[in-house]
Homo-oligomer: A and B are copies of this chain.
Amino acid sequence: MASTNLIFTDRAAHRAWLASQAKLPAGFRVGTARFEFLPREAPKPAKMTLTLIALDRPTEDFAAMFTRNALPGAPIIIGRQRLGEQSLGAIIVNNKISNVCAPGGVEASEKICGETARLLGLDAAQVLPSSTGVIGWTLPVESIIGALPQAVGALAGGSIMPAAEGIVTTDLYPKVRRADVGGGSIVGIAKGAGMIEPNMATMLVYILTDLAVPRAGLRAALTRAVETSFNTISIDSDTSTSDTVALLSSSRVACDDLVAFERALTQVCRDLAEDVVRNGEGVRHVIRVAVREAATPEFARALGKAIVNAPLFKCAVAGNDPNVGRLVQAIGKYVGAHAPGTDLSRLHLKLGGVEIFSNGVFQLNPGKETALVAHLKSAELYASAPPVAGVFTAAVDFPPHERCVEIEVSLGNGPAAVTVFGGDLTHEYVSENADYRS
């Protein structure tokens, strides 16, 4: 699925590669500001980064997709309205607090949009707000407004890196992917890293292009691209209240080949989606499940998700334990609960290219067990380090490779094929989410 097969030996090598990918398309500038504040609901100060993405002139050509969570954040409610506006000139993003169901949340976001617009010479309705972080807390509106001039003053073209670094929360590293098409480019950034089973889009993704594709074409292409990228991943089965993917065109470069544009956009989305999984909270193995010969794509995707979301199988992968019984359990659980009439007599399973199940029974022996353990170990991103003061922390801050635990599920029931990505369930995930307030 990924367009690359990258290997990084250290953080510096990864950062250098990111920098090489980060050239902003024409017509965009980014700037950030970082400040400390005291949350209303918490006893001690916290830090927040504002990230501003600005177009040199407002564009009519923009697209956005948002979470299907039924209790969405205020920026999602506003963002859906912005889709009906004539043009968009900027995106203002904050991390740390997601502004979800907080009293006065919509008014707070609108006030920030208004002040951003005033500083940039726009209307408030030309600014798309985005927030990520703790759910339930209220935005420190006055602190944000106080920091906005610094973000505006920092606006610069050239590199998207400041924005890629500004939007993160528990991410271990920034995520940037690009594609060059004709004389233009498509550049996207993403943040993860938990509460990720996007139902429409992943947490925060911004994709910028200078290729001139009209609004209707952008929106259709984004919908299709999201379907086969962000909607096929799951870190922990939890669907964020803030999922957003926005695509903005500065329309500086003529686009002669819409098919090539959509192909490139889809690849950028897939690469970013895979990056989000690879840097999922606590993820030490990326699990790639290729479901084939399914009756429908919907069935294939749901079955793949059931596998990457099965806690016992995820734990086995974390332990480099080829407990394939738990894989079969996950398949049977999904089919039994959601499609009990399905014929599983032609079910065929491979793990790491090794056949483990066919003709209705397991195909196991000690030699295969050895091969499966080796496959799991080769796909490990890093070995778990002993906890410090009871807390397990990721041992890397860069992605050392792009290898996955490879699972192939053939159903023999039809023509549909979908590939789904997920991660293992580790002590690092529990530490991230239980051992302190994220």
Contact = CB atoms under 8 A, between A and B. Distances in A.
B43 A366 contact: yes
B41 A332 contact: no
Contacts of A429: 311, 315, 430
A336 interface: yes
A328 B136 contact: yes
Interface SS of chain A: loop
Interface stretch (A27-35, A67-75, A146-154): A67-75
Contacts of A158: none
Contact of A325 (B135, B194, B335, B387): B135
Contact-residue size bin, chain A (C-beta under 8 Å from the other chain): 35 or more
Nearest to A334: B70
B318 A68 contact: no
Contact of A335 (B70, B102, B335, B340): B70
A325 B136 contact: yes
Contacts of A326: 135, 195, 238
Contacts of A134: 323, 325
B426 A321 contact: no
A210 to B, nearest CB: 34
A68 B340 contact: yes
- Ordered nearest first, which 6 A-B pairs have the shortest CB separation? A135-B325, A71-B332, A315-B433, A319-B434, A70-B335, A136-B325
Contacts of A312: 194-195, 236, 238, 433
Interface stretch (A15-23, A113-121, A172-180, A356-364): A356-364
Contacts of A334: 70
Contact of A430 (B98, B329, B362, B425): B425
A239 interface: yes
